Structure 1
Amino acid sequence: MLFLCRDNAALSILAEALLRELDGLHFDAFSAGLEPADKVQAAAMGELRHGFSSLELLNPKSWLEFTSEWAPQMDFVVTLCDESARVDVRAFHGAPELRRWTLTPSAYAAGSAVENAFWQILKRVEDFIAAERRPWPSLKLPAVASCASDACDLLLSGQ
């Protein structure tokens, strides 16, 4: 899954980190921006500093990195701003489903903007996991042959 926003410095970084942390076994999480910033916003890293692994993987990247021939195939592309909603998903390998996650205006309010965005994105990621997670294939063990009680007694006694 690829999360897109304009600068890949806060919203898409939060989404990538949350999905990776909450269900990285079932989903690959990436983020990118149309015009990537030089670094992740300090406020975004502040929201993630406690309890998140792999913070070193979080850095702004261009969405074009995910359109090259070596790029991973995306099943979903999620846009987090108006600018990124205009990206043509046909540029990505496969046929990813485009989703638009609109954040309420409080996510952009002064002061606790990143914290508000964090909680909104957390809810969206949790809903996504609940809706899209597929169970692991069940493990089929070979049938165990039954034995006559005398033979089982011998096996258990070690004779």
Structure 2
Amino acid sequence: MVERPYNVLFLCTGNSARSIFGECIVNRFGRGQFNGFSAGSHPKGEVHPLALEVLGRNNYLTEGLRSKDWAEFAEPGAPVMDFVFTVCDRAAAEVCPVWPGQPMTAHWGVPDPAEVEGNEVARMMAFRHAFAALQNRIQIFLSLPLASLDRLKLQRELDSIGRTPLPTSEPIETLLSESEGR
């Protein structure tokens, strides 16, 4: 596809957690072959504190992370994307900007941890769950033999990754029950 590192953009509505996770995971595991970016259709303006906490606990650098509008990546001079992945159903249903370079796209929906209500344990588990789901999907993506796949086969692979089952929430329910003394 390209001789430079592949650019990967993760999109969600608020760009405060899931897409930020995607950006960070790609930048860590892409090992110079992939550059991760993130944006939102209606950015919150800040990265969610629990997203920063999950990243910090997993030894990710968080300095410089910011919530930004997806239009930033459709402007002249923006990095040309090779892949664009929506990680929330709302962003997937919206009309996206026209991305220069005709990137490959796929929907890798993950429930929004910022919408989870409840005690601190429940909320933190939702963020950890979203992080784990995205890390799993991104590691599958990064292991694809991109140079040997034609666009049709690659699109099938990208769509298949989006159907990869999310980690079970059973341990979350167990932890919640224990933390609430049930």
TM-score using structure 1 length: 0.75
CA displacement at 1:90 relative to structure 2: 6.3
Aligned pair partner of 1:65 in 49, 62, 72 = 72
CA distance in 2, matches of 1:107, 1:43: 8
Give the corresponding residue for 1:77. Answer: 84
CA distance in 1, matches of 2:38, 2:67: 8
The percentage of counterpart residues that share the same residue type is 32
CA gap 1:101/1:132 in 2 versus in 1, 3 angstroms: farther
Structure 2, unaligned stretches of length 5 or more?
A: 1-7, 148-182
Question: Of the two, which has the highest radius of gyration?
Answer: 1
Q: Aligned-residue CA RMSD in angstroms?
A: 2.3
Give the corresponding residue for 2:60. Answer: 52
TM-score using structure 2 length: 0.66
Give the corresponding residue for 2:170. Answer: none
Alpha carbons 2:9, 2:81 under 8 Å: kept: yes
Summarize deviations over 1:93-147 as a string: whole Å, max 9, x none.
101111110236999755111110011011011001001565xxxxxxxxxxxxx
Aligned pair partner of 1:103 in 104, 110, 131 = 110
Moved over 2 A (4+): 86-90, 102-110
Deviates further, 98-107 or 4-13? 98-107
**Helix, strand or coil for the counterpart of 2:63?**
helix
Aligned pair partner of 2:10 in 3, 14, 24 = 3
CA distance in 2, matches of 1:75, 1:133: 11
